Amino acid sequence: QSTWGGYSRMLDSILLFLQNNVPFVLFILFMIYRFYQATRPFKDVSGSKVREVASLAEWTALLESSKAQNKVVVADFYAVWCGPCRTASPHFAQMSLDYPSATFVKVNVDTAKEVAQVNQINAMPTFIVFQSGQKVNQVRGWNQPMLISQIEALGVEKRSDAHPKEQ
């Protein structure tokens, strides 16, 4: 009987703690959810042409190549824990199919820190548009219409059979 009484007192103490600390409990549950969400893979778009840039050497080679070929590069600087980055990911992947003459890349700011530092990234997501290896425009936050207008302003044409502009 004393064992059940101990459990009863412990349960009463836990319930009292939960009742008296609702904001703290909600915060802990939210953090657990965010951790779970960060471990989930990003949504994939079949046939996406987006490639991951993982190092400063790879980044430098990409910009040199775009300079030599006079190409437009659109870079998505993201973090796996960033909600807006997760929202943008499938749309960015679709844009890589809709604008095939541009090169679309993703840079994880947590694993490719040097690339993020070189580009002075301090908010996620940040999208930077380069032409011939030079930064032309930047969009902080997910604003697809603005990003599309910046790409099209550089003469990058949308495939004729591509999806209409998404809002």
- Is 82 known to be catalytic? yes
Distance of CA 122 to the CA centre of its chain: 13
Choosing from 62, 74, 79, 82, the catalytic residue is: 82
d(CA 30, CA 32): 5
Identify the bridge partners of residue 75 per DSSP, sorted by sequence position.
105, 128
CA distances from 44 to 13, 48, 87 (A): 46, 8, 11
Q: Are 115 and 59 in contact (CB under 8 A)?
A: yes
Choosing from 75, 85, 147, 151, the catalytic residue is: 85
What DSSP character marks residue 46? T
- Is 38 known to be catalytic? no
**Residues belonging to the active site:** 82, 85
